[in-house]
Structure 1
Amino acid sequence: MPVVNYTQYCHMLDNAKQNKFAYPAINISSSETINAALLAFKEANSDGIIQVSTGGAKFASGLGIGSMVKGAIGLAVYTHLMAEEYDVNIALHTDHCHPEYVESFLLPLVEETRKRRAAGQPNLFSSHMYDGSALPMQENIAQSKRIMAACVANELILEIETGVVGGEEDGHDTSGVAAEKLYTTPEDMVLAAREIGSMGRFLLAATFGNVHGVYKPGNVKLKPSILQDGQAAVARALGEDSRLDLVFHGGSGSELQDIHESLQYGVIKMNVDTDTQYAYSRPIVDHVLKNYDGMLKIEGEVGNKKVYDPRSYGKKAERNMADRIMQACDALRSTGTSLGRNI
């Protein structure tokens, strides 16, 4: 089915919120990783979110171009084309745009959607993320409101972040951030709900000890009760209907019980990147090691085209990444929840 429009995306989010599950939001950087995500969502019978970061978009444009915007557009167009062949609903999202890239990445993509809408075409993306969490809260909210206005005008959903997700992702390192910044306060959540929620639908990445990167299970200490307290504060201040649509970042190494608890407090989207990167790369390494002689032309030999053809290991990588995404669907309880053509 085509990539969802604004109304359909809202139905997806409502379905998750009402039934207490979350969509895996899969970071992609190539046609192969898009294919893996689409395959996984189809086989899990789960609607889902495909997203691209600034770094992933720049990579996708190639060494000869190195353009975040061109790469993001290329990935989005490919996703639109391929999603039509699947019977699940897909939302397209951009991930973690930090303040320094708003003018060179996020807003040009909003403008691309505006142009397409004016020509009677569907939105390029379904939603965008602005990550102003490193800024003072008032400055973060002010900038978020400016971007939100552009999104609302083009039927786009905006995701913002309050608090800071620890660790490093896509070259952005927050390991030196003060510990208290790793936890969103109830006051922050109420402010975001009041200021941004009054403008339209948005997603909030509220932090509760999340850390980007690679960790063994149990090494990341989450406090899901922070989300519960924040939602209660929002309900008291603004009413039950103002409870937030929350996003879980930095889930690698999280205990399943913490993930499930977060679903009870309004998490409806969870970013998945580190684990799927490994899942994609692991079978390639295995293929190379098992076929070392065939992969190389050495000592006058010609190698084995059947094993150095990128398709031979690319299919294995796609399959393994899809399997890992299906595990995420199970963990987040989105398996079997697709709204299909009833959206």
Structure 2
Amino acid sequence: MPLVTVAELLEKAEEGSYAVGAFNCNNMEIIQAIIEAAELEKAPVIIQASQGAIKYAGIDYIATLIKTAASSSSVPVAMHLDHGTSFEQVVQCIRKGFTSVMIDGSRLPLEENIAVTRAVVQVARAVGVSVEAELGKIGGTEDDITVNEWEASLTDPEEARYFVKQTEVDSLAIAIGTAHGRYKGVPRLDFERLKRVRELINIPIVLHGSSGVPDEAIKRAVELGVRKINIDTNLREAFTAAIRRALSDNPQEIDPRKILGPAREAMREVVREKIRLFGSAGKAVE
């Protein structure tokens, strides 16, 4: 099946009141795990590559792997740039076939964030690529992008309304208490803030830093209008735990397939669980 845009997937998610999982990838096994899970759950899926993934694997490898996976898939797949930090990088990803891009200007003053986001929207929309932006700072670390806990600030609902009007972006990532990486405690999401943002903007809302957020909080966020949910840390945890088990059970093993195979299976099960939690299971056949 040809790649689709994130905007297409989220439009259907809006109609069906569910969220689509957006899973970060770094290598072949992760991409295979995501696709296998989506196929088994008959769910639409977003495979996204961050700054770190592109730096590690190379944009050509990442793009080709995702395109290959999607070409033989029976479920809709979008290829998304996660946390793009420059206009130039966004354009490069569009040229490589990404169907959706995120421009993260959240560290910039509001008007500068609007300016760079508008520039990306104009270019992307001309070639049918959807755009996600971010407003408010999400705590923790995402590859090379770090926001200290004291610096993290939540999204202002009125600013969100103004930002969306000025940029005409397709979806918006907001900060309501989640963080990238592992949590030190149980995160508490600001649902009242989410409600207010939802009332003021008419585009899908994105939740970053969702690994480690309690299931009930995720369900509540979906009920209140979140339509794209990002997962990365949970996949890393499953990947490394499975590798540790494989090597612990057989310290003499030297066959990468017998080490990485179990890791792929473990990640696949995590993705399946998330898809069911987000409510997107079975939505690819409706």
TM over 0.5: yes
Q: What does the per-residue CA deviation read over 1:193-250, in whole Å, with 9 as the maximum and x for residues that have no partner?
A: 21122xxx5110011111111126x61111122121112233xxxxxxxx12111001
Task: Decide whether the 8 Å contact of 1:12 with 1:339 is kept in 2.
Answer: no
Task: Decide whether the 8 Å contact of 2:138 with 2:177 is kept in 1.
Answer: yes
Identity of aligned residues (%): 29
Q: Distance in 2 between matches of 1:55 and 1:178?
A: 22
Q: Distance in 2 between matches of 1:164 and 1:187?
A: 16
Structure 1 residues without counterparts, runs of 5 or longer: 61-70, 114-123, 235-242, 295-306
Task: Decide whether the 8 Å contact of 2:212 with 2:234 is kept in 1.
Answer: no
- Displacement, 1:172? 1.5
Q: Distance in 2 between matches of 1:102 and 1:210?
A: 26
Structure 2 residues without counterparts, runs of 5 or longer: none
For residue 25 of structure 1, the aligned residue among 22, 25, 30 is 22
- Are positions 1:205 and 2:151 aligned together? no
Residue number in structure 2 paired with 1:72: 59
- Are positions 1:214 and 2:182 aligned together? yes
Residue number in structure 1 paired with 2:230: 271
Residue number in structure 1 paired with 2:130: 157
Q: Which moved more, 1:204-213 or 1:259-268?
A: 259-268
CA RMSD of aligned residues (A): 1.7
- Displacement, 1:177? 4.7
Q: How does 1:84-99 map to 2 (within 5 A)?
A: 84-98=71-85
Question: What SS does the corresponding residue of 1:150 show, helix, strand or coil?
Answer: helix
Residue number in structure 1 paired with 2:93: 109
Residue number in structure 2 paired with 1:313: 259
Residue number in structure 1 paired with 2:191: 224
Q: How does 1:1-343 map to 2 (within 5 A)?
A: 1-4=1-4, 6=5, 9-60=6-57, 71-98=58-85, 101-103=86-88, 105-110=89-94, 112=95, 124-175=97-148, 177-179=150-152, 181=153, 183-197=154-168, 202-215=170-183, 219-234=186-201, 243-292=202-251, 294=252, 307-339=253-285
Task: Decide whether the 8 Å contact of 1:51 with 1:93 is kept in 2.
Answer: yes
Amino acid at match of 1:92: M
Task: Decide whether the 8 Å contact of 1:196 with 1:202 is kept in 2.
Answer: no
Q: Distance in 1 between matches of 2:54 and 2:118?
A: 25
Q: What does the per-residue CA deviation read over 1:255-290, in whole Å, with 9 as the maximum and x for residues that have no partner?
A: 222211211232111110000011111111111111
Q: TM-score, normalised by structure 1?
A: 0.79
- Displacement, 1:176? 5.1
Q: Whose Rg is larger?
A: 1
The alignment of Structure 1 onto Structure 2 pairs a total of residues equal to 286
- Displacement, 1:12? 2.1
- Displacement, 1:52? 0.3
